[in-house]
Amino acid sequence: MSILIDRQTRLVVHGLTGREGSFHGGAMLDYGTNVVAGMTPGKGGQAALDGRVPVFDTVSDAVRETGANTSCIFVPAGGAPDSILEAVAAGIGTIFCITEGIPALDMVPVAAAVERAGARLIGPNCPGATSPGRAKVGIIPASIHREGSVGVVSRSGTLTYEAVQAMTDAGIGQSTCVGIGGDPIIGSTFLDVLRLFEADPETEAIVLIGEIGGAAEEEAAAWAAEHLADVPKVAFIAGRTAPEGKRMGHAGAIISGGSGTAASKVAALEAAGFRVAGSPTELPQLLRDAGYRG
């Protein structure tokens, strides 16, 4: 099994005819993801990716004609919130928003609307997800993955790539790798993804990659202490040298009022049974040390 995406995923790419959408849409299709539709207003009736994928004016048209059940959004920041809402209105159950730079105030009502509809949003400002050998949605490079049983969840795209490559090089494969995004307002949190991994019988170990700012890692650690006590689990926290009040990288990566520090996150994770790495390259050995034998 996998979480969020699999061979039954039927993907509609918002902005498929644009530069980013076309490039990454082609990579997703080449990987084997079932890209069934593109959506660009005014370009309905065309075909993208060398004629392999039909394009529709609206998401509802794409859903009606192709049975799309998952969205991947490559729409500029000004239009991305409406694009998420359009996917929700069309009945899409899982939405990945790759777009960065969406104002937090614009995302507050959108996140609430997604929750009310019972849909699931990953992002915004996220790299997407890959279930090796099944499907990939977003911008995570396909070549770094290996099929296996370690679930990876991360706030950082580039650190995800480094950690996954290190695991693959060490012969450790992944069940699903999820980038949740580093903005202050996101759809799915560490805790949400850990719950999905707990329910997946093929995920036998957990890698969590966090960073300074907020309390999402601490909340996930508290839940994991109770529900994942016997699961090998390791973590890495970026931003250990960041000064208070200085934003480091992501909009959500900021220490404020003494909270959200790397030290507080490391302490919470270690108390919950995570082995915390000093760098992403240490994660494979820590997984072995934690008892993972996959």
* Dihedral over alpha carbons 262, 171, 128, 234 (to 10 degrees): -20
Residue 250 bears catalytic tag? yes
Quote the CA–CA distance of 47 and 106 in Å, as a whole number. Answer: 32
Judge contact between 155 and 31, C-beta under 8 A.
Answer: no
Active-site option among 14, 24, 145, 250 = 250
Quote the CA–CA distance of 30 and 14 in Å, as a whole number. Answer: 18
- The strand ranges marked E within 212-261 are 233-238
Q: How many residues does the chain have?
A: 294
Strand pairing class (70-73; 53-56): unpaired
* Strand order, beta sheet including 275-277: 135-138, 128-131, 174-179, 147-154, 205-211, 233-238, 275-277
| Sign of the alpha-carbon torsion through 131, 135, 138, 143 | positive
Judge contact between 276 and 154, C-beta under 8 A.
Answer: no
Catalytic residue annotation: 250
